[in-house]
Chain A
Amino acid sequence: MFPLEPSLYTVKAVLILDNDGERLYAKYYDDTYPSVKEQKAFEKNIFSKTHRTDSEIALLEGLTVVYKSNIDLFFYVVGSSHENEVRSLAVLNCLFDSLSQMLRKNVERRALLENMEGLFLAVDEIVDGGVILESDPQQVVHRVALRGEDVPYSEQTVTQVSTTALVTSFISAYYIVQCGSCTITLFTLYSPET
């Protein structure tokens, strides 16, 4: 057996779990865990082994798992145990940094759930079918190209928000809604459906 078979297929799974070990995002790229039941069991195991320690890497069920936690989120990249751990780490960092930029450094569960489509698109740009597609967070953010996220809303004044809302599309209006109660009026003003 030759353990280091040259291949581009290097990522087995990308997972994001919350504080309770619940799946927020999970993408498996091969048949290591074919059924949802097995996947959830693996996630449970992974979470129980990693949520108390902040130590970046572990060997579980014969797989190398690199991970990172932030506030109430746990990010995992799973590879085979023969995988170059440094490369898996590069994938993990790319995912985290991309999300961090997209969520304006606000990487926590609530913000992530409000930007699920951004997360879906970002992972799609980072790994495709188990092959690392891009490892540079700048490129990933650029390619995901979610509009209306250039300036962090939390730091804007109400006037700024209203001008942004005027010039940008409905999507930005959608985000405005979530900034605070005062912007809800803006939303109702500019949204055609209400």
Chain B
Amino acid sequence: MIKKFDKKDEESGSGSNPFQHLEKSAVLQEARIFNETPINPRRCLHILTKIIYLLNQGEHFGTMEATEAFFAMTRLFQSNDQTLRRMCYLTIKEMANISEDVIIVTSSLTKDMTGKEDVYRGPAIRALCRITDTTMLQAIERYMKQAIVDKVPSVSSSALVSSLHMVKMSYDVVKRWVNEAQEAASSDNIMVQYHALGLLYHLRKNDRLAVSKMLNKFTKSGLKSPFAYCMLIRIASKLLEETEAGHDSPLFDFIESCLRNKHEMVVYEAASAIVHMPNCTARELAPAVSVLQLFCSSPKAALRYAAVRTLNKVAMKHPSAVTACNLDLENLITDSNRSIATLAITTLLKTGSESSVDRLMKQISSFVSEISDEFKVVVVQAISALCQKYPRKHSVMMNFLSNMLRDDGGFEYKRAIVDCIISIIEENPESKETGLAHLCEFIEDCEHTVLATKILHLLGKEGPRTPSPSKYIRFIFNRVVLESEAVRAAAVSALAKFGAQNDDLLPSVLVLMQRCMMDSDDEVRDRATFYMNVLQQKQKALNAAYIFNGENTHCAPSLNLRALVCVDISGPIQEVRLCLSVSSVPLANTPITEQKTEFAPVATSKLPEKPGPTRQDIYQEQLAAIPEFQGLGSLFKTSEAVQLTEAETEYVVRCVKHTFARHMVFQFDCTNTLNDQLLQKVMVQMEPSEAYEVLHYVPAANLPYSQPGSCYSLVRLPEDDPTAVSCTFSCTLKYLVKDCDPNTGEPDDDGYDDEYVLEDLEVTVADHIQKVLKPNFAAAWDEVGGDFEKEETFALASVRTLDEAVGNIISFLGMQPCERSDKVPENKNSHILFLAGVFRGGHDVLVRSRLALADGVTMQVTVRSSDETVVDIILASVG
């Protein structure tokens, strides 16, 4: 039979594959000869090879047929043919998961693993451990222990690696073999050493002290195996990171010493470990960088790749450290391995000077089509970073990006490009038109819904404010005609924004809207009808509320507008607002129950928060559980935590301020760091400087060692003087101390009262204001109107730069900067900052602050709000 197939083989030449047309059923049929006596080792071997080949090709074996073949195979243990026996082991391993009752071969394998034939022993151990479970493991434990310390390396290695595989399943049994593993670790064989170290680490990795002892031992005694060294370096760097040890630790010295190891593998591992360490200084990086530099000229592509990839990482944080390698990197630009060339160029883009950008971009565009998507994303990221560094180069980048956008590529790649273009547009106003044009072209033929909606949203936001908005309308309306529902809906929203902002375009937009109202999709139709009605009113305030700032997400989920469309929208604005508030409640995180006009619901529904429990939601829930705090209404704002003690003191206290409509709750998170004390009835006594009134203290009943507890104070805000927004509280921690046994935590019966003075706590205007992002500030400005507008001019003498002034104002008022006005363009000596927020009680507040730099900074602040007091409060607090 074999002869026949050989003949055929020769006739058909070298292209044929003897395994090509194997039929599973035919092979299993053939496997019956396993039962023949005497066993024909050669034929059986061939059949086993076929079975493993089939398994390897991904052929599915049913449990029945697998079990049958497996049992037939067990008979082959009677033959003493070495290769046949080895193939039996392999079959056992391959079939361990598909056949039933595989444990039947346990005794045969145990015999082989303890037998005289060294060639059998290692593989037999590995096969045995594949079919063993926890209960059976006990039975072979003795043999495993012996095998681990066996002097034949293949036996010892097999036993160690198999033990490692079984750690997941039976940790408790394998744990008992630590001593044997320890002995194996001092073996002369490099692989045994490596496997023993790996097993020891896996058994001890949760015990930091044991790991550190083990490291200490091995770093001192020295190992022979480069594999083991790599492992040691990884363990050491992990320990360094966990313990946050400084770089003067002996572990760091060990890693650094590995840079001088004779094996490239170890040297590279050490260099990569140093590069990945957080807070490495340039001086500490230098030796690692210089070995990587050497690797750059290695004949091995893998080593060059590894080196340049790691250098690329260094360049992200410390570009200056890599400049020394620029020459070597230049040589790699023409490397035949495109991955290496790409990495070299992107690294150079990070470290090189502005003048080299053009040349590098030209280089990279010559082969960008040859590299994989992963690297294309790397290139795009490098370009994105570059644009921030050299804003003047944006035209070169934009061209390059648009070319890349036209090429084929996956979603991740396209998304990276789109994000990059969007960020360029936002950073450089002069690139806006080219960028938008490229994006328009892209959505003409874009298969990714997410990207299309994102771009449409951007077009809606930026398009109307360009010199010729009409040219974008065509692109947007094409989407309405051609795309899926989600894209159509986004396109309708974008169209509405054009209509609202450009009076001359309004008639045409209305015509287009009319068409969209015939759409087959509900959402698209609803949006069109809604926008149509709003636009027809031609009222700026309505447009601002419902078209520009109404929705924050570009792929806005169904707005549930259906309820609204039927409302007679020509009624007074208030009435419409009420309707909208009802329909937009599902979107809001905190439902607003009061529907009075001064409690405009817009506030919370516009918070740029994602659905799902936020930090504030969690606090709200916690506070609601405390009876004293019921009836306070919904939580308006939660501040960041403020430390009231120095770090490392006996008691650590931090305060979180919760603002409600008329009250504030101070939450004190206290930790007792003394293990011989138990604190009880812990509270923080507060002495206000203004007319704030402390209503309640909620003490923490028990504060044992190192378990944080919270106590609360409830304070009523002064009602007769609404302008008193800032206040200073002097705080004292009061408690009952009981001494206790540091070990058991058992307290004495008697205690004594004590107190501890904390730092003063400040309440500022920022605590009363919640940030709100207004995507279109000008529209919001008009919407609020000038009824309560006030303006004042201040001189900020102590501030030297515009950046600093902007930062100070934002953090002082706690409001949201809009229109990216928090970024001051370079080399300008005047700037306008737009801030938006909601004051406690639900009043919109908008601040326009013109800054001019002379000797100090002069600031003209204009405040608008729906409430006059709020305007006064803001101006008073700024002054």
**B738 on interface, CB distance cutoff 8 Å:** no
**B201 on interface, CB distance cutoff 8 Å:** yes
Query: For window 87-119 of chain B, which residues contact chain A by CB distance below 8 Å?
Result: 87, 89-90, 93, 119
- Is A121 touching B86 in the complex (CB atoms < 8 A)? yes
Given contacts A56-B300, A60-B372, A193-B40, contact A109 B306 (CB under 8 A): no
- Is B191 touching A133 in the complex (CB atoms < 8 A)? yes
- Is A86 touching B264 in the complex (CB atoms < 8 A)? yes
CA A108 – CA B17 in complex, angstroms?
12
Set of chain A residues within 8 Å of B89, measured between Cβ atoms: 124
Query: Interface segment, B53-61, B505-513, B563-571?
Result: B53-61
Set of chain B residues within 8 Å of A40, measured between Cβ atoms: 58
Set of chain A residues within 8 Å of B86, measured between Cβ atoms: 121, 144
- Is A6 touching B234 in the complex (CB atoms < 8 A)? yes
CA A181 – CA B6 in complex, angstroms?
10
CA A187 – CA B48 in complex, angstroms?
22
Set of chain B residues within 8 Å of A5, measured between Cβ atoms: 234, 238
CA A62 – CA B375 in complex, angstroms?
10
* B248 to A: closest C-beta gap in Å: 21
Set of chain B residues within 8 Å of A181, measured between Cβ atoms: 10
CA A62 – CA B378 in complex, angstroms?
12
- Is A135 touching B372 in the complex (CB atoms < 8 A)? no
Query: Interface segment, B137-145, B171-179, B333-341, B492-500?
Result: B333-341
CA A113 – CA B698 in complex, angstroms?
79
Partner among B49, B161, B191 whose Cβ is within 8 Å of the Cβ of A135: B191
- Is A184 touching B230 in the complex (CB atoms < 8 A)? no
Partner among A23, A58, A66, A124 whose Cβ is within 8 Å of the Cβ of B57: A23
- Is A117 touching B3 in the complex (CB atoms < 8 A)? no
Set of chain B residues within 8 Å of A178, measured between Cβ atoms: 6, 9
Partner among B45, B195, B303 whose Cβ is within 8 Å of the Cβ of A8: B195
Partner among A4, A26, A55, A170 whose Cβ is within 8 Å of the Cβ of B338: A55
Query: For window 5-35 of chain A, which residues contact chain B by CB distance below 8 Å?
Result: 5-8, 23, 25-27
- Is B337 touching A56 in the complex (CB atoms < 8 A)? yes
- Is A120 touching B303 in the complex (CB atoms < 8 A)? no
Query: For window 30-83 of chain B, which residues contact chain A by CB distance below 8 Å?
Result: 40-43, 45-46, 48-49, 52-53, 56-58, 81-83
Question: What's the dominant secondary structure at chain A's contact region?
Answer: mixed
**B820 on interface, CB distance cutoff 8 Å:** no
Task: Please give me the residue from chain B that is nearest to A193 by CB atom.
Answer: B40
CA A96 – CA B10 in complex, angstroms?
26
CA A90 – CA B42 in complex, angstroms?
33
CA A45 – CA B122 in complex, angstroms?
36
**B165 on interface, CB distance cutoff 8 Å:** yes
Instruction: Count how many chain A residues have C-beta atoms less than 8 Å from C-beta atoms of the other chain.
Output: 70
Partner among B3, B19, B165, B372 whose Cβ is within 8 Å of the Cβ of A188: B3
Set of chain A residues within 8 Å of B18, measured between Cβ atoms: 113-114
CA A135 – CA B292 in complex, angstroms?
24
- How many residue pairs bridge A and B at CB < 8 Å? 194
- Is A171 touching B273 in the complex (CB atoms < 8 A)? no
Task: Please give me the residue from chain A that is nearest to B201 by CB atom.
Answer: A6
**B237 on interface, CB distance cutoff 8 Å:** yes
Residues 294-337 of chain B: 1 if any A CB is under 8 Å from the residue's CB, otherwise 0? 00000011110110000000000000000000000000000011
**B548 on interface, CB distance cutoff 8 Å:** no
Given contacts A113-B19, A178-B6, contact A57 B154 (CB under 8 A): no
Set of chain A residues within 8 Å of B81, measured between Cβ atoms: 169, 171
Set of chain B residues within 8 Å of A108, measured between Cβ atoms: 14
**B268 on interface, CB distance cutoff 8 Å:** yes
Set of chain A residues within 8 Å of B234, measured between Cβ atoms: 4-6
Residues 131-162 of chain A: 1 if any B CB is under 8 Å from the residue's CB, otherwise 0? 11111000100011111000000000000000
**A166 on interface, CB distance cutoff 8 Å:** no
Task: Please give me the residue from chain B that is nearest to A145 by CB atom.
Answer: B119
Partner among B3, B93, B164, B375 whose Cβ is within 8 Å of the Cβ of A177: B3
Given contacts A5-B238, A56-B302, A86-B302, contact A121 B198 (CB under 8 A): no
Task: Please give me the residue from chain A that is nearest to B157 by CB atom.
Answer: A133
The list of the 10 closest CB pairs from A to B, nearest first, reads A55-B337, A36-B58, A8-B198, A56-B301, A6-B234, A85-B306, A86-B265, A170-B42, A89-B302, A57-B302
Given A131-B195, A169-B41: 14 more A-B contacts, CB < 8 Å = A6-B235, A55-B337, A57-B302, A86-B265, A120-B56, A124-B93, A132-B227, A133-B157, A133-B191, A143-B122, A147-B83, A170-B42, A174-B46, A193-B40
For this complex, 25 residue pairs linking A to B, each with C-beta atoms less than 8 Å apart, are A2-B238, A26-B58, A53-B337, A53-B338, A55-B336, A57-B305, A85-B302, A85-B303, A86-B264, A86-B306, A87-B227, A87-B230, A89-B302, A117-B49, A124-B90, A131-B161, A131-B198, A132-B191, A143-B119, A144-B86, A145-B119, A177-B2, A177-B3, A178-B6, A181-B10
